[in-house]
Structure 1
Amino acid sequence: MAEYSIELSFNNRAVVFEIPVLPEEIEIEGEGEGEEHNVAGLGWINAIDAPKLKEISFSSVFPADMENAIQSKGFDAPADYIRRIEDWMTKKKPIRFIYISQGLKINIPVSIEEFNYKEVGGAPGDFEYTLTLKEYVFYSAKKVTIAKTTAASAGKKKQAAAKKPDRPDERAKPKTVKIKSGDSLWTIAKANLGEGSRYKELMKLNNITEAQAKKLKVGTVIKLPG
Structure 2
Amino acid sequence: MSTLQFWLSFNNGAEKIRLPVNPPEIRVVSGYNWTDINLSQFGEFTVPSGHPLTEISFSSFFPRDYNASYCEYPEIPKPTEFTDKLSKWKESKKPIRLIVLGFGGRSSGLNYAMTIRNFTFEERAGSPGDIYYTLEMREYRFIKLAQVGPAVSKQTGVKTVIKADSKSSRPNEKTLPKTYTVKSGDTLTKIVQRLRTQGVKGLTVEKLYQANKSVIGKNKNLIKVGQKLTIP
Aligned-pair CA distance for 1:25: 0.9
Q: Deviations over 1:103-157 (max 9, x none)?
A: 24110100000000000211100111000010001134655789xxxxxxxxxxx
Letter in 1 for 2:110: I
Aligned-pair CA distance for 1:82: 0.3
Aligned-pair CA distance for 1:79: 0.4
> Do the aligned partners of residues 62 and 38 (structure 1) sit closer, same or farther apart at CA in structure 2, a change above 3 Å counting?
same
Partner Cα separation in structure 1 for residue 126 and residue 89 of structure 2: 29
SS state at 2:87 partner: helix
Deviant stretches of 4+, over 3 Å: 140-146
Residue in structure 1 matching 2:72, options 60, 70, 73:
70
> Do the aligned partners of residues 36 and 144 (structure 1) sit closer, same or farther apart at CA in structure 2, a change above 3 Å counting?
closer
Partner Cα separation in structure 1 for residue 98 and residue 131 of structure 2: 21
| 1:119 corresponding residue in structure 2 | 123
Partner Cα separation in structure 2 for residue 121 and residue 5 of structure 1: 28
Q: Would you say the 8 A contact 1:4–1:102 is kept in 2?
A: no
Moved more, 134-143 or 81-90: 134-143
User: What is the CA RMSD across the aligned residues, in angstroms?
Assistant: 2.3
Partner Cα separation in structure 1 for residue 128 and residue 63 of structure 2: 9
Q: Do residues 10 (structure 1) and 14 (structure 2) align?
A: no
Aligned-pair CA distance for 1:72: 8.4
Report 1:142-157 matches (<5 A): none
Residue in structure 2 matching 1:130, options 125, 134, 139:
134
Unaligned residue ranges in structure 1 (runs of 5+) = 147-226
Q: Would you say the 8 A contact 1:54–1:134 is kept in 2?
A: yes
Larger radius of gyration: 1
Tell me the TM-score normalised to structure 1 length.
0.58
Aligned-pair CA distance for 1:42: 2.1
| 1:181 corresponding residue in structure 2 | none
SS state at 1:50 partner: coil
| 2:208 corresponding residue in structure 1 | none
Tell me the TM-score normalised to structure 2 length.
0.57
Unaligned residue ranges in structure 2 (runs of 5+) = 151-232
Aligned-pair CA distance for 1:40: 2.0
Q: Do residues 88 (structure 1) and 92 (structure 2) align?
A: no
Aligned length: 145
Percent identical among aligned pairs is: 33
Partner Cα separation in structure 2 for residue 17 and residue 33 of structure 1: 33
Which one has a larger percent helix, Structure 1 or Structure 2? Answer: 1
